[in-house]
Chains A and B, each alone.
Chain A
Amino acid sequence: MERTVIVRMEKISKLFPGVKALDNVDFSINAGEVHALVGENGAGKSTLIKVLMGALTKDSGAIYLDGHKIDITNPSQAKLYGLGAVYQDVMLAQHLSVGENFFLGKLPMTAYKMINWKVVYQEASKILENLNIKIDPKKLVKDLTVAQQEMVVIAKTLHENARIVIFDEPTALLANDETEELFKIIQKLKEKGVGIIYISHRLEEIFKISDRVTVLKDGKLVNTLNTSQTDENSLISMMVGRSARDMYSIGHTSKKAEIVLEIRKLTKKGIFENISFKLHKGEILGMFGLVGSGRTDIVRCIFGADIFDSGEICINGERAFIKSPLDAISKGIGLLPEDRKKQGLCLNLSVETNINLALYPEITAAGIINAVKERETAESFRKKIDIRTPSVSQKTQNLSGGNQQKVVMAKWLSKKSKIFIFDEPTVGVDVGAKAEIYKLFEKLTRDGNSIIMISSYLPEIMGVADRAIVISEGKQTGMLLREEYIGMTNKDEEKFLRLASGLKVS
């Protein structure tokens, strides 16, 4: 089949407050090719896709379809132009049948204005057969496996005459054989002349199925090359290669202190297995892994928010039986959850209440809260860690991301926690507040506290952590010492990325 350009994106720029998410990026997609899009978190991949799909509007640049300039301002328009997307979380009506999902909003009718189910299922069968997908169109979507659901989405996208299909991390939730199945269908799509944009963290997949690959870094286009003319190593070094900034230069406490927390063979079936590590007093232990690698599940189990199946947790040398967050809190552990809005804060309550939330039982006598202590605590932390709010009775939802994160921190500081678990502490936090949060890490560890910091942002791990564990698909694939990555070179980043993708370190 002749390779004609379907869509060409030229000099696309997109500005978010404070960040240039896309900076003069060129990108094109041909008929019948798989074009892979790679880059670290925050490199601009999803922004580029969202611009193409009309979910975001570009600030400058142009998009051409079949050589004609087009303006995509909303997702339904993108659909009309033949652009379809298959996202990581499947978007289907779960309680309806497969066939019905194909015809959502345009179900065929009989002469009596009733739904013509015969046509629905006949057509649906045809669509599925066309792609060699063996699913009964009468089945309800919720009864299908995730992989099958993904196939249905692909079929649906094609049924809507999509000329370009975007796969955003399609294999994140699939098992190996299901991935194979998916690749076969992608092959089919190629043969039909559909252009495919393929986004994945898993480099081996990219070499398996893509024809071309485009690397983005910090919103800029690094290169677009033929996949056959490159290899994993050069891709990784193109993806990384950013110098460390002063932001991460914090003081580190001396090593060889006593062990405050030891995890032995912690396992939660199907999520993570045999996780073992030690945390020393005054140490910052980094935990690196891709989203969905099980890292959040591990710390949630340590904190008692979820239940694990086997393994031991020891605190200060003693076996600890943690069955609820309350158990963990009373043992001196504090968790700053991944999603502070959903799990960390009571947004429509005051800053003061949020700071005192874990402390209340301590400042309560005969069921009555000591209002003076409550106010004192809130005020003292507001000053100590500089929470910027007009008053502590302000609702937490009115604070900026960085200050909200500080409120969650103050909650555990006031509770005098000793072990702090930070899950993605700087997501959605601006650069200034980021630096302040790292400074706070320094102070915490200097005072003899210990920190576990989960992050998928490598510079953060390399810049701040004393040691780092790497988690890949629920397994502990490596443990790196600060000396091994202190230079924050590309080579060091490569090491992490390889471990996190389950590859061997060369």
Chain B
Amino acid sequence: MGIQIVKHGLLSKIINLVKDKKILAAEGTLLAILIFLATFLSFASQFFLTVENITNLVRHTSIVGVVAIGMTFVIISGGIDLSVGSVLGFSGMAAAILMRDGHNIYLAIIAGVLAGTIVGVINGFIIHKGKVPPFIATMGSMIVVRGVIMLISDARMVSGLPREFTNFSQLSLFGVPNLFIVWLIIMFLANFLAKRSLFGRNIHAIGSNVEASRLSGIKIQDNVIKVYAFCAFMASVAGIMMTSRLANGVPTGGDGFELDAIAAAVIGGASLSGAEGTVLGTVLGAFIMAMLRNGGTLMGINPFLLQIAIGTIVVAAVLIDKQKKSKR
């Protein structure tokens, strides 16, 4: 399954580079970078191309990747959501506590996801109704929600989770890790949602020009609330995935994920001024980020140097993108 996408992407990349340089060229470039990175790392480190490393890499990337997809939608609408890391932790922790207390696994998952999603609804409401800039509103909820996590967990790990639940993230289907399958399904649905649904079109329009959208009859409030709810929903799903993977409810879970998610989206071509960004781009962006981290560690690069490199790459990606655009 995964391989097919890669092939398809490669083909369309070649076709598009010849035919129309604008549409998928960005994704094509990303894919080329990704392939280059993977090839390079395969030669540079004997540990890179091992089943264990790749599954691990894919598992971790899947969790951040789900968060990044939600983030992409918010960025397309012209906003930003800094609360995703906390929301992820909140949903994961809430589900963990419920499971520990002996509640039904599915019920616990649904309750956890719901709890996280509500944070998104509140975010959207404050941003639209209260006209609070998204950066401030979601930074506030990031802090508040992290506090709530500490409160409900006493800042301690929650363990003793059911086997069926923790096993899910460790298992694979035909060699493909379950977590990656979840991400794949989300990718397809989200891609469809962004490209073909009314909601997707509306957030593009709002991100491009709020006033023109309003004057065209688009309900701004509904869509703003929906997009933040969607983003929080994605983060909450990732929270469940994370709790399963760590086999514990971790109070600091998801800390700093918002930056990785934003970085993935931005490397993938999303523009913080709105209306630009694709699910595929973000997915590739997430892989590039993860591979840099993983590869750097495997090659024994000084972690601080690695951090410097990754930060530089994020800014460079945007810089190159801007340069290309101003040339048009």
Chain A residues proximal to chain B, CB less than 8 Å: 303, 305, 325-326, 329-330, 335, 337, 342-349, 353, 357-358, 360-361, 364, 367-369, 371, 411
Q: Which residues of A contact B219 (CB under 8 A)?
A: 326
Evaluate contact between B209 and A342: CB separation under 8 angstroms.
Answer: yes
Evaluate contact between A357 and B196: CB separation under 8 angstroms.
Answer: no
Evaluate contact between A348 and B211: CB separation under 8 angstroms.
Answer: no
Evaluate contact between A411 and B216: CB separation under 8 angstroms.
Answer: yes
Cα-based distance from A446 to B275 in the complex (angstroms):
38
Q: Which residues of A contact B198 (CB under 8 A)?
A: 360-361, 364, 367-369
Q: Which residue of B lies closest to A358 (CB)?
A: B216
Interface of B is mostly: helix
In the assembled complex, B103 has its CB within 8 A of some CB on chain A: no
Interface centre among A303, A345, A346 (most CB of B within 10 A): A346
Report A422 CB to chain B, min CB distance, Å: 14
Interface centre among A305, A325, A353 (most CB of B within 10 A): A325
* 14 pairs of residues in contact across A and B, judged by CB atoms under 8 Å: A325-B214, A325-B217, A330-B217, A335-B215, A337-B212, A342-B212, A343-B209, A346-B212, A347-B209, A348-B208, A348-B275, A358-B216, A364-B197, A367-B198
In the assembled complex, B276 has its CB within 8 A of some CB on chain A: yes
A357 partner, pick from B197, B218, B275, B276, beta carbons under 8 A: B218
In the assembled complex, B109 has its CB within 8 A of some CB on chain A: no
Evaluate contact between A346 and B205: CB separation under 8 angstroms.
Answer: yes
Q: Which residue of B lies closest to A340 (CB)?
A: B212
Q: Which residues of B contact A411 (CB under 8 A)?
A: 216
Report B48 CB to chain A, min CB distance, Å: 39
Known contacts A325-B215, A357-B205; 20 further A-B pairs (Cβ under 8 A): A305-B214, A325-B214, A330-B217, A343-B212, A343-B215, A344-B212, A346-B209, A347-B208, A348-B276, A349-B205, A353-B204, A357-B213, A357-B216, A358-B217, A360-B198, A368-B196, A368-B197, A369-B196, A369-B198, A371-B196
Q: Which residues of B contact A358 (CB under 8 A)?
A: 216-217
Interface hits, B150-198 → A, CB 8 Å:
196-198
Chain B residues proximal to chain A, CB less than 8 Å: 196-199, 201-202, 204-205, 208-209, 211-219, 275-276
Cα-based distance from A364 to B217 in the complex (angstroms):
15
Cα-based distance from A369 to B204 in the complex (angstroms):
14
Evaluate contact between A367 and B199: CB separation under 8 angstroms.
Answer: yes
Interface of A is mostly: mixed
Supposing A346-B275, A349-B208, A353-B205 touch, asked if A369 and B197 sit within 8 A by C-beta, the answer is: yes
Q: Which residue of B lies closest to A350 (CB)?
A: B204
Q: Which residues of A contact B217 (CB under 8 A)?
A: 325-326, 329-330, 358, 361
Nearest 6 interchain pairs by C-beta:
A346-B208, A357-B216, A329-B217, A326-B217, A364-B198, A358-B216
Cα-based distance from A106 to B275 in the complex (angstroms):
42
Q: Which residues of A contact B196 (CB under 8 A)?
A: 368-369, 371
Evaluate contact between A349 and B275: CB separation under 8 angstroms.
Answer: yes
Q: Which residues of A contact B212 (CB under 8 A)?
A: 337, 342-346, 357
Cα-based distance from A337 to B216 in the complex (angstroms):
11
Q: Which residues of B contact A368 (CB under 8 A)?
A: 196-198
